[in-house]
Structure 1
């Protein structure tokens, strides 16, 4: 089974922390939808022997598209690929897009429209239920819209995920707990949660440099993370990936396929693709992307992954998930040299109870989970070939 990711490179406004590729100008939106559909058709030979299990609209903000535009893209996928009978079709959405439309046109609710065209999973970018946090992040919605959106969405959709950000400057542990409890009060079965990070060339970076916003504190972020893990696990969520928590049967099939190393095609500007042996990525420039597609050219670059690249990727994704790193697979797929290296590098983390090995599976302990990415990078195999 494989997946198709479709990047919609438009947002109403730029969030202060975001470094994803998007444009706040909608002038080329119609042209972009046609180009994305054309890329879907141009690349169908890549998936001739694959069944598509998931379609994921990410961005950017895919909810800026009209229902008819989303239907057009879904239909284009279904007409050109072997799609399973009930694929998981996820739409990333912002609360202001959903509440604004549903309030203005309750009789033809946006949620009904999404369901009718086959979308069966929503991923809603809440980030926080507090006004001051949303303003600091420069989110397009307010706290009332965040709650109103979930109130309406849960009437139409069972499979909903929401995003929350922790480690926000000035956010106390109590305030963070309130964010989690508010999310749980809506009966949401999946939560993705990330520490606020300061990326280069973002507005947040400049705000911190000029002293207008305090820098995130790692110790605070770690406390928030442990509160998140404990609270959600007590409420029946499985911590199946470092930043993702789901009730049974509500794990993201799309994202799980990434972590399990399955093939996927990324459509649209900046989107990445993976076929098990190579990775490719489209140019992160809307105008150049449109020009290439109009000339029947794929605006992408490719790299062939070395054995070390594939080992490093497996270690990173394995450690972040409940499935861990299978030591038998390391030896059979990469060789004894890699296994010996991994075990050698892992010794100090085993000694400090940050990772454990059970049934030949290497996993971070509860104590080591927050440090997973750093541990993984220390287990990477460098300059071996």
Structure 2
């Protein structure tokens, strides 16, 4: 037993030195001792890293040097010591000040140290920098608020779209009946203008409903094997009258090789039509729009290029966000809610693809590129 007692004694003696070196070398926590009056008596490496002071600069100073002026004015540092002395331990979180004047969010634990006779020897103070954690929690709360705001906005858009669509149906029916009547030239012109505007409103409402369905995950693709070249050709022909109306040259370059994939034909036609509608809208009268479809590896690559008003770098960053239009587009587009490219990206995503936009800048035209994965086998093999 005597040999074991000697070992324990030696271990305790060595342990004191090891413990001191351990505390002094800790980097993630500021650990230091305070006198009963609150003056700093020791200083570890973590304290220097977190608070910015060297031991020579801070030992002997009152620990209130780390507190903000409002906390000092209300006597909070001394109150912390009083509570620690009364309860044996005190814990708090709040802003603390570094040597360079910057602040950080700190978790502070102050432990009162008493002699065996009950007299106060001082305090041990441990401080952790929780700024990064607080910023993460703040960002998580902000993201949760944005998600909830987006959900409410999507529900409102869906409700509003349905409410707008309800009176559109009878208006369209009335215009159809008027179109069959014998009207003066001015009357025919009025009906034609009204029809055009009602179709525009109807398209905007459908786009709003589509955005609502996509963002709430309510879109269900009706997939089947198809040949993408035929889909693109049908979409181009469907949009050609709109291009002709603006005297624009709309050309399509499709591959002779069939590009087969599994997808929703209606949605893919909508994708191509939205690309073309966007290009037509933002290209001046007499401009040109080119559609190119090709194969790259196991992907089909569709590009729509125009020589229209182009996009700034800022507009490009937000090009695929709903309700996003650059100032230059808003001035020259002649209507629209900035939903076309948002739907393009959503439909591409639903098919396992992706979309990107590029532009040389204002007046330099734009290119939108969509990549879609091809099927391993021909139509009918799935």
User: Taking CA–CA contacts closer than 8 Å with sequence separation of 6 or more, which of the two structures ends up with the larger relative contact order?
Assistant: 1
Larger radius of gyration: 2
State the TM-score bracket (shorter-chain normalisation): under 0.3
* TM-score (norm: length of structure 1): 0.21
